[in-house]
Structure 1
Amino acid sequence: SVVLPVGPYVASKTLYATASVEYSSCAASRGNLVFSWSLAEAGGRRAVVLTGSSNELPIPQGTMVGGKAYALSLSVGRDGVFSTAGASLTASASPLVALIAGGSSRVAAPDTPDLSVDASLSYDPDFCPPPDPMSASAACSDPGMAFSWQCATTDGSPCRNKGDSSLVLLPSSAAISVDVSAIAVPPGQEGLLLTVTASKGGHAAARSVSVAVIAGGDP
C-alpha cells in the first residue's frame, strides 16, 4: 500500500510517500523487491510529473501545483510477480508571505515628508522562491500579487490628515512613500503602524511595521 502523511499537501513543501509491503504467507522467498512509482496529473492526459524506483518517493517542493489533483501509483514485486497500489491527492496552494524591508520597526521625525516603506519582497511560494538577501540578482517578480496599505495610530485608530482630519489613503503598490509630516499624531500616541496586505487569487497575508515619530528621528 501507499503511505502518505496526513494532509494538506502544500505545493511548496517536500512530500514523502512510502511503500508498505506485506509478503504473502505462501511466498517462497523474501528477496529484494523492485519498486516503480509514478505521480501523474489526475484526469485528462494524466501527464506524468515524477517517477521513482525505491521504497520511498520524495516529491520535491514545486513538483505539484496548488489546486491540482494527482494520482500516485506504485508497482512492487520481483521475478515477474507484481502488485499495485495507488493514492489520490490534491496539492494545496501555499500561504502567501508578506515582508517589509528593514524589519518591524522604524523611526521618523515629525517633519519627515517621504518615509519609504517597501513590501516588494513579499512572495507566493508556489511562484517565487524565498528572497535571498545575499544575492545580487533581482528578486523574483510576481505580476499576480496585489498590495494595499493601511495606516493606524498606536491606539488602533485610522490615521487622519492634519487640517481637515480626513482619512489617510495610501497607494496600492508594493513600495510607497508616506508623508509623516501630514499625518496627525494625537497627543500621547507614540507613532504609527503601517500594515501591508499582499493578496493573490483569494489568498492574503499581512505584515506591519511600527514607526516611532520622534523629534530628530532618522527614517
Structure 2
Amino acid sequence: MEDNEIINLWRSYGQKLEENLQLNRKNAEDITRLKVKSFLASMKPLKIFTIAAGIIWVGAIDLMIIKAFPAANWFFIISAGIQVLLTKLAIIIYLYQLILIYKADISEPVLETQHKLARLKSTTILVTRILFLQLPVWTTFYWNKSMLENGNMALYLIQIVITLSFTLVAIWLFRNIKYENKDKKWFRLIFDGKEWTPVLKSIELLNQVKEYKTDNAN
C-alpha cells in the first residue's frame, strides 16, 4: 500500500471519528435538554395545585373578613388581612413561575433557559421568605377584647412569649433564606422537594450543556 493511500485512510478514519464524537456530543446535549424538560414538567402539577388552593383560601378569608368587619374584631381583621395579602403576593409569584416553566423551550439557546431557571430559583427563595412572614399573625388572629380584659398575667406572658418567638423566627428566616445558605441543613430541610430540587438539577444539567458547547468551540 502506497504512502498516499495510508495517509488518505488515516484522514478518513480521523474524519469519521470526529463525526462520531460530534454526534455523541449532540446526542448527549439532546438527552440533557430532555431531562431538563422533564424536571420542569414535574414542577407544574404542584404549582397549579398551590395556585388553585391559594385562590380558594384567599377567597374564603376575604369572605370571612367581610363578614366579621361589622363586628369589628380588629385583631382578627388585621391578622387575617396581613395573612391574605401575603398569600395573594405568593400566588402572583407562583403564577409568574408557572409562566416561566411553560415558556421554557429546550430548543432555545442555553443562555435563555439559564436565565429562566435563575428567575425560578430566585423567586422560589423570595416566595418562601414572604410566606414565612405570616408566622406572627397565626398567633394573634384569635385575640379579642374579652381575652385582654379578663385574662390573667400568666395568659398574657404565654401569649407574649409565643407571639414574640414566632416574630423572631419569621424575621430570622426572612433574613437568612438566601442562596448562599443552600448547603446548610435547615435550608435543605425547608427546600427539599418539588419546589426546589428540579430547579437545581436543571441548572446543573444546563451547565453541562454549556460545557459541551465550550468544548466543541475549542
TM-score between the two structures when normalised by the length of structure 1: 0.20
Structure richer in helix, relative to its length: 2
Which of the pair has the greater relative contact order for Cα pairs under 8 Å at 6+ separation? 2
TM-score between the two structures when normalised by the length of structure 2: 0.20
